[in-house]
Amino acid sequence: MVLKTAPMNYAQAAVLAVQREMQDDPRVVVLGEDVGRGGIFGQYKGLQDMFGPQRVIDTPISEAAIMGGGVGMALAGLRPVVEMRVVDFALCGMDEIVNQAAKNRYMFGGQGRVPLVARMPSGIWDASAAQHSQSLEAWFAHMPGLVVVCPSTPQDNYALLRASMQCGDPVIYMEHKTLWGMQGEVDETVQVPLGKAAKLREGADVTLVSWSRQVHVCAQACEQLAAQGVQVELIDLRTIWPWDREAVLASCAKTGRLLVVHEAVQAGGFGAEIAATVAEHLPCKIKRLGAPRIPVGYAPVLEAQARIGVEATVNAVMAIMQSTQKF
pLDDT digits over 146-170, tens only?
A: 999 999 999 999 999 999 999 999 9
> What is the mean predicted confidence (pLDDT) over 294-309?
95
Q: Kindly report the length of the chain.
A: 327
> What is the mean predicted confidence (pLDDT) over 240-267?
98
Looking at the chain, which residues constitute the CATH 3.40.50.920 domain(s)? 198-321
Give residue 194's identity as a one-letter amino acid code: L
pLDDT digits over 211-222, tens only?
A: 999 999 999 999
pLDDT digits over 39-91, tens only?
A: 999 999 999 999 999 999 999 999 999 999 999 999 999 999 999 999 999 99
Residue 3 predicted with pLDDT over 60? no
What pLDDT does residue 323 have? Answer: 77
The CATH number assigned to the domain with range 5-187 reads: 3.40.50.970
CA 125 to chain centre: 15
Looking at the chain, which residues constitute the CATH 3.40.50.970 domain(s)? 5-187
Q: How far apart are CA 176 and CA 43, in angstroms?
A: 12
pLDDT digits over 6-15, tens only?
A: 999 999 999 9
Query: Exactly one of 132, 176, 216, 262 is catalytic; which is it?
Result: 132
What pLDDT does residue 325 have? Answer: 59
What pLDDT does residue 324 have? Answer: 64
**Does residue 176 carry a catalytic annotation?**
no
The CATH number assigned to the domain with range 198-321 reads: 3.40.50.920
DSSP 144-179: TT-EEE---SHHHHHHHHHHHHH-SS-EEE--BTT-
Say if residue 116 is exposed, middle or buried (CB neighbours under 10 Å; 0-12, 13-18, 19+).
buried
pLDDT digits over 169-199, tens only?
A: 999 999 999 999 999 999 999 999 999 999 9
Mean pLDDT of the chain: 96
pLDDT digits over 258-272, tens only?
A: 999 999 999 999 999
Residue 27 predicted with pLDDT over 80? yes
What pLDDT does residue 192 have? Answer: 96
DSSP 236-261: E--EEES--HHHHHHHHHHHSEEEEE
Q: Which of 2-6, 11-15, 144-148, 300-304 has the lowest average pLDDT?
A: 2-6
What pLDDT does residue 1 have? Answer: 41
In the chain, alpha helices (H): 10-24, 47-51, 63-75, 87-90, 94-95, 104-107, 137-141, 154-166, 214-227, 245-255, 270-281, 300-305, 310-323
Say if residue 20 is exposed, middle or buried (CB neighbours under 10 Å; 0-12, 13-18, 19+).
middle
Q: How far apart are CA 50 and CA 78, in angstroms?
A: 19
Residue 326 predicted with pLDDT over 70? no
